Amino acid sequence: MATNDAAPVRVGLVSISDRASSGVYEDKGLPALQDWLGRALRNPVQWVTRLIPDEQAGISATLIELVDQQACDLVLTTGGTGPARRDVTPEATLAVADKEMPGFGEQMRQISLRFVPTAILSRQVAVIRGRTLIINLPGQPRAIAETLEGLPQAVPPCPGIFAAVPYCIDLIGGPYLETDDSVCQAFRPKSAQRPARA
């Protein structure tokens, strides 16, 4: 639930699918992303959403637009990260990167491997462009939530990737993201923490 005194954040959401973008079926990636982030973040959020086909040049252009023109602090993509011929989201993302952040993809695969051995076929990447963090997420709504939130009840627990996102955005000059601990507890070193709001 957003709080009025938390810093506003601008979030870009991109669903990448040939069939959904052409109206063959309803897109489920954007609603899944918006639902989870809407519950996890206490900041007021401005959403910038895009539904586009699996075309590398178009994906790169969309990411550049969301960062350079729309000034998003965080951009999350869903879809197009497998080994199939049309899966080009990682290539399109790396093409616009200033820095690669490989730990995000590594952890997403670790989480998914708890469920299916084919998780090793996923190629999600995360990068920084300017002052924006861009993360490729899986295509299925359930997998989106699992990778963001982690598996706290698992033995041993498996942290989700979003716990590291707020501090990463701090380090690259973005707004201070506050999370609802019941959904996702952000981790920051003590020196980077601000007093908790009531």
Give a yes or no: residue 1 inside a domain: no
Give a yes or no: residue 4 inside a domain: no
pTM above 0.85, yes or no: yes
Give a yes or no: residue 114 inside a domain: yes
Give a yes or no: residue 2 inside a domain: no
For the segment 148-193, what is each residue's pLDDT rounded down to a tens digit? Answer: 999 988 888 889 999 999 999 999 999 999 999 999 999 999 999 9
What gap in Å lies between CA 42 and CA 193, rounded to an integer? 15
Total domains in the chain come to: 1
Enumerate residues 6+ apart whose C-beta is below 8 A from 89: 16, 54, 59, 77, 79, 80, 81, 136
Enumerate residues 6+ apart whose C-beta is below 8 A from 9: 41, 43, 44, 45, 46, 73, 74, 174, 175, 177
Give a yes or no: residue 109 inside a domain: yes
Residues forming beta bridges with residue 133, ordered by sequence position: 74, 128
Say what the pLDDT of residue 13 is.
98
Given a cut of 70, is residue 1 above it in pLDDT? no
Give a yes or no: residue 197 inside a domain: no
CATH of the domain at 95: 3.40.980.10
For the segment 106-120, what is each residue's pLDDT rounded down to a tens digit? Answer: 999 999 999 999 999
Given a cut of 60, is residue 27 above it in pLDDT? yes
> The domain containing residue 32 runs over which residues?
9-192
